[in-house]
Structure 1
Amino acid sequence: MARGCPFAPPPEYAELRAEQPVSQVRLQNGRTAWLLTRHEDVRALLSHPATTASRAHPAFPATVANVQAFAQKGFLLSMDSPEHLMHRRMVTGEFTAGRVRKLRPRIQEIVDACVDRILEAGATGRPVNLVEELSLPVPSLVICEILGVPYDARGIFQKNTEVLLSQASTAADREGAFGALRVFLGELVTLKAETPDDTVLGRLAVKYQDAGLYDHEHLTGFAMLLLLAGHETTANMISLGVTALLHENPTELASLVADPSLMPGAVEELLRYLSIVDYPTSRVLLEDTEVSGTVIRADEGFIASAAAANHDPEVFPEPGRLDLRRNTSGHIAFGFGVHACLGQNLARAELEITFNTLFSRVPGLRLVDPVDQLPYKQSTVYGLHTLEVTW
């Protein structure tokens, strides 16, 4: 399915939601799965106890090739309880709202440094590529510091992450990228286990060792999951968020600049409106279940579309309108249920700080190209390859 308006989900979602909210779709691998497009149904099945998130299940609805790679040790999104609950409890404390508040001054420093470079580059009169100068560096540096990854190695994971998430990549491409990342992070985990430090990986190594649960492969997989999830998604939200704010509602953008306290609510609306991660909310049902009059059988896979749910007019009136003062309670941009995004507090902080800083320090910011001519990613995570701006 292709998007019409670059900020809107595929128009077929609205048609299905109205006429056939639980429908069968054919996947790239030739198999079929059920697609859910109503907000109520999506939340119901994502919190259903008789489901499995295991990518190793033969009926798991894979939307990319070689999805089994994400079923390896340490990938919380592919675990079921009680294993999932045990490991999630081990790491939840690293991403609480309180811990993220302590990180905000450092995030602000990182964003300020990026905006300094943007202003210097813009002084030449040439357009600035915001993806290279802001969108990628901010979350990359933040997650590197949190995990204890040397930032000068960021090229390794940025390149391989793009290969892993691109729909154009072959299974062989993904296997190579996955292997390269796992070797790199495996060496880092070994170092943290031998000489623990005050980073997430250093603290987790000690915690797992003290609990008698240390497993090198598990911690390596977890580090990989955090690194992948911790920069690619936020980077794309920064790029698309800037684009949407500049294009859709410049008047309300001005009010955000005047009153930064409005930004947290605006970020929630952008998360709902853009819904850049649509398909990771996939599961397999383990018992026959009726959903909106349709019975999904045991061992059949389903895709709970976040983009469709976040644009359900029954929950969000006029969903295609960016309303920065909207009540966005109930959006599922971070998923829902036990597998809701572990790092959502961190992502929110990065987005709030980045948008507030960029728009306050670079007045008159504008896009160089029309939104329908920008190079959008055909990827598991929606975003932009480049975003040229000037002022």
Structure 2
Amino acid sequence: MVSTTTESPAEASSFASSSTSPYIPATKHILSKAHLEAFQRSKTHQDIIDFVEELNEDIVGKKLSEAGEGSERTRPIIGILDSVLEIAKSTPPVDNKLSRFGNPAFKTFYDKIGEASKDLHLRIPGLPHEAIHEVEVYFKESWGNKQRVDYGSGMEFNFLCWLLCLTKLGVFMKEDYPFLVLGVFWKYIEVMRYLQSTYWLEPAGSHGVWGLDDYHFLPFLWGSGQLKDHKHLRPKAIHDPEILEAFSKDYMYLACITFINSIKTASLRWHSPMLDDISVVKTWDKVNQGMRKMYRAEVLGKLPVMQHALFGSLLPFPKPEEDPELKKALEEEGIPEPDAHGHIHVKGETGWTMDCCGIPVPSAFAAAQEGATPHGGTPTFAGRSGIKPIPFD
């Protein structure tokens, strides 16, 4: 179980006024395969896995429509996400007729979030004020990349880490876990859908999330968790329009399928091959097991994603003196130099894994048909080759 503090608000306030702070702004530490392997051996890695697993177990059989209004601890988080949405609505896309790629107005939105971040965090009950400068880094990095105007599972991972840090600080309790997924996380997805459609955020890495969704992974992991004990619905139900219409308001997996169908033409087989493959698995329990394994391997285990991960005092990165294997590897191999974007490109590998940047691909929201107007029209989507399915059954 993820450890949490038990200090009272009064103790937290006193602690925040201390002249010395144990908190440090979260920064990048994974610069090589050796760093990635050290992370995978670390307690931080296990804490993240445990958090994902516990949240998964706590939403089995629970519907989105039954999430409720949350507690006094979680309602302010919903308010913060509402404020992010308002900031986006007050920052409309600029006229960008000549480009199907990310809209420059996103950079303005990103800066506004940075300016508002501290005040937004001051709304969180029980959050020590001196911890804000550490946890807000995860929050600010949850909305996309300012330079590339893109979004991917690494940014989604930052939002997960933001929730985990707040949990470690005692902001949330175990009884809040179902709402953290069905209320808070799903609200985050709704805000992200607005940002993706408004600013035409490009899929980070150009490959989407391995044939799942251009941007997200966790809604499929937790969404299959919701359904894993369902008596009637089966994975093949994603191909039934009537079932999607009836149940997408209750289950995030089905909601994501409905969303994909709303912005892409052709079949899942063409633009979302992994989702199509998974639909033949017999049970949602099997799907959920596969998604959890896949998250470890394809998100937490991939350098192109995890080189952007952030570590501070709450989610610490192991020091070389604490990890003899890391120390030895760094002495033998050295540390690779990041490129102009701060990215590491692994030599000697083939496929998408060697490059987190890839070839820029327009957002599926971008008007793809000839003559369509910016931020309007019917988008189409080109299939992607080279995506290696991972067996789920």
Task: Please classify the TM superposition score into its range, dividing by the shorter chain length.
Answer: under 0.3
TM-score, with length taken from structure 1: 0.26
More strand by share: 1
More helix by share: 1
